[in-house]
């Protein structure tokens, strides 16, 4: 940073100095800014893993205590819908990778359309995931397979403490779904800014970071699906 630049302590006019418009001034270079942002996102992902980790541990312990109830409960989960959701998320992760690639290789707008298309596809598959989720949930509500004190299922395979399984099912898939929705909001933000032409080889940090976040959301589902739907 030049002395002349430093001398102007009061008003800043970024564009007058030939800086990238998204270059924040406490960083010496765009590269430093990008590296720092990535560290920040990886750390945030670590916190997400620990957050979900607590639920996974709780699930494991409760499953050991109420094995029969958990087996009975998991039979009510439609593994095909779960598998479909897994496919949706995996494909959306792939389209997200394509979006990041497009953004990082976007020179003079030559990959802009690819970027926008892939972001929209990602959003679409995420939406598909939520739609399937809606159908799954409404089926459970209909059967009375609800968490905690709302549980009122009366089918022939009713087992004591079955409600605990559904407490965890709804908490874990609910928290995950909440993160999917958050991701969808973030991707929508990326679409808007991509249309404005903000992302290119010099600056594609938000695409990269939200891409990382999206992969984690996918990864968590990859663990949730077998744990809840498949293991008996």
Partner 1 sequence: MADVIASPAVHTAEHGHHADYLTDPAHKGIWSWMTTVDHKRLGVMYLWAVLGAFFVGGIFALLVRLELMHPGEDFMNAEQYNQAFTLHGAIMVFMFIIPSVPAALGNFIMPLMLGAKDVAFPRLNLASFWIYVLGSVMAITSILVGGVDTGWTFYTPYSTTTGGSVTMMTLSVFVLGFSSIFTGINFIATVHKLRAPGMGWFQLPLFVWGIYATAIIQVLATPVLGITMVLLVMERAFNIGIFDAQIGGDPVLFQHFFWFYSHPAVYIMILPGMAIISEIIPTFSRRTIFGYRLIALSSVAIALIGFLVWGHHMFTSGESALAASIFSFLTFLVAIPSGIKVFNWMATMYKASISLDTPMLYAVSFLLLFGIGGLTGIFLGALSVDIHLHDTYFVVAHFHYVMMGGTVIAFLGGIHYWWSKMFGRMYNETVGRIACGIVFVGFNMTFLTQFFMGSQGMPRRYYTYLDQFQPLHQFSTFGSWVLGAGLLIAAVNLFSSLRGPKNAPSNPWGGTTLEWQTQSPPITHNFVGQPSIEHNPYDYRHFKIPTDAV
User: Contact residues for partner 1 (CB under 8 A)?
Assistant: 1, 3, 6, 9-11, 24-28, 32, 35-37, 39-40, 43-44, 46-48, 50-55, 58, 61-62, 65-66, 147-150, 160-161, 163-164, 167-168, 171
Contacts of 215 (CB under 8 A, 6+ apart): 93, 96
Q: Which is nearer to partner 1, 160 or 197 (CB)?
A: 160
CB of 219 to partner 1, least distance (A): 16
CB of 24 to partner 1, least distance (A): 8
**Does residue 124 contact residue 99 with C-beta atoms inside 8 Å?**
no
Long-range contacts of 74-77 (CB under 8 A, 24+ apart): 74/165, 74/228, 74/229, 74/231, 74/232, 75/157, 75/232, 76/140, 76/143, 76/145, 77/136, 77/169, 77/228, 77/229
Q: Which is nearer to partner 1, 163 or 221 (CB)?
A: 163
Q: Which is nearer to partner 1, 125 or 170 (CB)?
A: 170
Q: Which is nearer to partner 1, 53 or 109 (CB)?
A: 53
Long-range contacts of 159-166 (CB under 8 A, 24+ apart): 159/68, 159/69, 159/72, 159/73, 160/69, 161/66, 161/69, 162/69, 162/72, 162/73, 164/62, 164/66, 164/69, 164/70, 165/62, 165/66, 165/69, 165/70, 165/72, 165/73, 165/74, 166/73, 166/140
CB of 33 to partner 1, least distance (A): 8
Q: Which is nearer to partner 1, 54 or 156 (CB)?
A: 54
CB of 223 to partner 1, least distance (A): 15
CB of 66 to partner 1, least distance (A): 6
Q: Which is nearer to partner 1, 141 or 150 (CB)?
A: 150
CB of 112 to partner 1, least distance (A): 27
- SS3 call for 157: coil
Q: Which is nearer to partner 1, 105 or 161 (CB)?
A: 161
Closest C-alpha to 89, from 124, 137, 53, 46? 124
Cα–Cα distance, 186 to 216 (Å, whole number)? 14
CB of 188 to partner 1, least distance (A): 20
């Amino acid at each position: 940073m030049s002395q002349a630049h430093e001398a102007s302590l009061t008003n800043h006019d970024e564009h007058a100095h030939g800086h990238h418009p998204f270059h924040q001034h406490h960083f010496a270079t765009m590269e430093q800014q990008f590296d720092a942002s990535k560290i920040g996102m990886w750390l945030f992902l670590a916190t997400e893993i620990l957050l979900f980790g607590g639920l996974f541990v709780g699930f494991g312990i409760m499953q050991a205590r109420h094995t029969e109830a958990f087996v009975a409960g998991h039979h009510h989960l439609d593994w095909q819908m779960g598998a479909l959701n897994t496919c949706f998320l995996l494909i959306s992760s792939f389209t997200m990778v394509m979006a990041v690639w497009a953004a990082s290789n976007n020179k003079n707008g030559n990959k802009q359309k690819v970027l926008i298309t892939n972001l929209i596809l990602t959003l679409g598959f995420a939406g598909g995931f939520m739609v399937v989720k809606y159908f799954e949930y409404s089926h459970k509500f209909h059967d009375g397979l609800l968490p905690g004190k709302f549980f009122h299922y009366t089918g022939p395979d009713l087992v004591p403490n079955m409600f605990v399984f559904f407490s965890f099912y709804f908490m874990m898939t609910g928290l995950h779904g909440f993160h999917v929705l958050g991701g969808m909001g973030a991707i929508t933000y990326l679409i808007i800014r991509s249309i404005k032409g903000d992302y290119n080889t010099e600056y594609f940090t938000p695409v990269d970071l939200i891409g990382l976040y999206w992969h984690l959301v996918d990864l968590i589902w990859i663990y949730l699906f077998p744990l809840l739907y498949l293991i008996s």
